[in-house]
Chain A
């Protein structure tokens, strides 16, 4: 693999790669996501063995891809070039798939997706409702490329945005384009990325940093892992472009320690991009130098918080710092550090490639582009989906998500896990939008959409979120540490039916103080799920105080009344 020295050379290499690819060569693309493989290698081995058994080495490719997103129907495989999707595939199916489909060019009916509501079968991805109704600008490449092959990424146009940014645009122009596109942070803040970049850019310092936050600690959110593991170069390209715009020559990738495949894919992607010269000195002869260092998270939620993460990169305990001086001005080692989420970085190449106007044409007035959503809880199609902002929650939950299992009724949906908020079923027509959801007290967070059916107790749910926060709070400041302690005592009482008069008022006061006086966002948003539950499900809380029945029964009783 030789270093690429110019945009022209890049295009030549790309053409060379594409010309060598045989579009008709059969390929079995196996989803390598944890949801499909479950930590086992048996499915992959079965197909690799089958290639050998049938003496098809070199004639059939077996490729392990990133997450396809259709977790509920996994293990998923796609057969190319026909794009035949097989669902719930087992290692034992390998030989039949080979003889019937790869060689015999026939479809194995029992492995084809069947819509549980209509009974209709759908063979190709383009026919399956789950995929059809999405706009997979980011995820679309996952089933098609080998995440360990930089050539696959180049074949689909990868690094052309980097070339355009470095060689045809000034850093300021790149920044302006991202500002114009109104790319907003996808990690939970929703803050305009362009403005954050600008702050870092304007901060006067010799050394600056850009950081990719791949911590993804929000329970129920797993879309960052899907895109990072499946298309690591997409994020790397975005990060380099960001570094260029901000004036940073050092990038940090902060990622999870508990996913070997993800880590391997990132390490390999960095190695390959260095070989081609996309990372390193004088990238594409632009004069721009950029290095990337990978740091691993250590298994605590708060280390996903920007300032805590930066402490962690410095080698210290991840205690958040108050953001009186923004990290974009003083971050790692007090140097300007621009931190963005994985999905945010993933959006950058397409903005540069197709332009801010194109990007701003997707979504709503103030929420542009697409958003990856990971569905979980009481929903048929648990998985990762991608939709434009503005899509109604109803469409996400029912048309794409397949509705509620076991014939139950929807009670509520929840964004943002322990730091987020709940929307009752009556508000299911709400569009996916940063500001609309924030106004309803259920800010989108990282995009993990948790669905609750009619059997859910909202009081239990609130206690569950508090337990999570108790486990994750750093414990430095009083309003959070002691607030959580006392709120848990109240919730324990309430869930045993021993709620005292005044408990709800105490909760409300602790929420107020916590939200105003806590040191960091974790402490401040501890109150969000509780306030949200009190806003829409107050009767359940009240019922847990008056009566002596345990919580679950009381909640269904309360629901029948109100």
Chain B
């Protein structure tokens, strides 16, 4: 694997072929905000907060840095008027769901995102997928899944699996930026767990 030389925010960075721009930036101490990214999980490219401006052969593009592979002579700008606007709007869209999320609030301040811009939405899940992916890729239990498409997309615990696995695990709980996950678990436990689960799994 050869080393690739690229420029991030004016700084020359060396990275191995196959590294993402996000990875290369981090190794050079350059901070790019993320929400759906986790070092134990495959990069997802869902939140788009890590969007950066890249210039290659005179063409400018906006890409998710968690997925975009480093290229020779790539010029990367992690902040710019457009990049900042993209991040601000993404945050505002998500704050409509979870205005109390500490992560979102911290980022909102930096990018001037206004929580009141959009009317409050009923679900405070931001569909970052950290829970679904952690359970699938790390725990390999698949106790929680995405269902439905588009604006109707949700996360659902699968009661048959969750009732057996989750009580003793709950490793995904701290990953959730909005605590929707914990609420969804409790709701599923209360309403949908098979009756036998209450004597065996949760010890109640």
Q: Which residues of A contact B (CB under 8 A)?
A: 300, 322, 324-325, 469-479, 481-486, 488-489, 509-510, 512-513, 516-519
CB nearest neighbor in A for B152: A475
Instruction: Please measure, in the bound complex, the distance between the C-alpha atom of A322 and the C-alpha atom of B47, giving whole angstroms.
Output: 13
Which of A325, A473, A486, A517 gathers most chain B CB within 10 Å? Answer: A517
A475 touches B48 (CB 8 A): no
Q: Which of B42-59 contact A (CB under 8 A)?
A: 45-49, 51
B86 touches A513 (CB 8 A): yes
The smallest C-beta distance from B120 to any residue of chain A, in angstroms, reads: 11
B9-17, B25-33, B61-69, B168-176: which lies at the A interface?
A: B61-69
Instruction: Please measure, in the bound complex, the distance between the C-alpha atom of A488 and the C-alpha atom of B118, giving whole angstroms.
Output: 12
Q: Select one of A322, A509, A512 contacting B67, CB under 8 A.
A: A322
B93 touches A482 (CB 8 A): yes
Q: Which residues of B contact A (CB under 8 A)?
A: 45-49, 51, 62-64, 67-69, 82, 85-86, 89-90, 93-94, 96, 118-119, 121, 126-127, 148-153
A513 touches B69 (CB 8 A): no
A478 touches B68 (CB 8 A): no
Instruction: Please measure, in the bound complex, the distance between the C-alpha atom of A509 and the C-alpha atom of B90, giving whole angstroms.
Output: 11
Contacts of A513 in B (CB 8 A): 85-86, 89-90
The smallest C-beta distance from A317 to any residue of chain B, in angstroms, reads: 8
The smallest C-beta distance from A299 to any residue of chain B, in angstroms, reads: 11
CB nearest neighbor in A for B44: A476
Listed A/B pairs (26) with beta-carbon separation below 8 Å: A300-B149, A322-B45, A322-B67, A324-B63, A324-B69, A472-B150, A473-B151, A474-B149, A475-B149, A477-B46, A477-B47, A478-B126, A479-B89, A479-B93, A484-B150, A485-B151, A486-B118, A509-B89, A513-B85, A516-B51, A516-B62, A516-B82, A516-B86, A517-B51, A518-B48, A519-B64
Contacts of B150 in A (CB 8 A): 469-475, 481, 484
Instruction: Please measure, in the bound complex, the distance between the C-alpha atom of A175 and the C-alpha atom of B33, giving whole angstroms.
Output: 44
B127 touches A475 (CB 8 A): yes
Contacts of B48 in A (CB 8 A): 477-479, 517-519
Which of A322, A482, A484 gathers most chain B CB within 10 Å? Answer: A482
Instruction: Please measure, in the bound complex, the distance between the C-alpha atom of A525 and the C-alpha atom of B49, giving whole angstroms.
Output: 19
CB nearest neighbor in B for A469: B150
Q: Which 8 A-B pairs have the closest CB atoms?
A: A475-B153, A482-B93, A473-B150, A516-B62, A513-B89, A475-B150, A517-B48, A485-B151
Contacts of B119 in A (CB 8 A): 489
Q: Select one of A477, A486, A517 contacting B62, CB under 8 A.
A: A517
Contacts of A471 in B (CB 8 A): 150
Contacts of B151 in A (CB 8 A): 470, 473, 475, 481-482, 484-485, 488
B86 touches A517 (CB 8 A): yes
CB nearest neighbor in B for A471: B150
Instruction: Please measure, in the bound complex, the distance between the C-alpha atom of A476 and the C-alpha atom of B154, giving whole angstroms.
Output: 10
Instruction: Please measure, in the bound complex, the distance between the C-alpha atom of A513 and the C-alpha atom of B51, giving whole angstroms.
Output: 11
CB nearest neighbor in B for A485: B151
Contacts of B49 in A (CB 8 A): 478
Instruction: Please measure, in the bound complex, the distance between the C-alpha atom of A518 and the C-alpha atom of B61, giving whole angstroms.
Output: 12
Q: Select one of A324, A481, A483, A512 contacting B153, CB under 8 A.
A: A481
Instruction: Please measure, in the bound complex, the distance between the C-alpha atom of A479 and the C-alpha atom of B85, giving whole angstroms.
Output: 12
The smallest C-beta distance from B44 to any residue of chain A, in angstroms, reads: 8
With A473-B150, A475-B148, A475-B149 known, 6 other A-B pairs at CB within 8 A are A475-B153, A476-B46, A478-B94, A478-B127, A484-B150, A509-B85
Instruction: Please measure, in the bound complex, the distance between the C-alpha atom of A186 and the C-alpha atom of B96, giving whole angstroms.
Output: 40
CB nearest neighbor in B for A502: B117
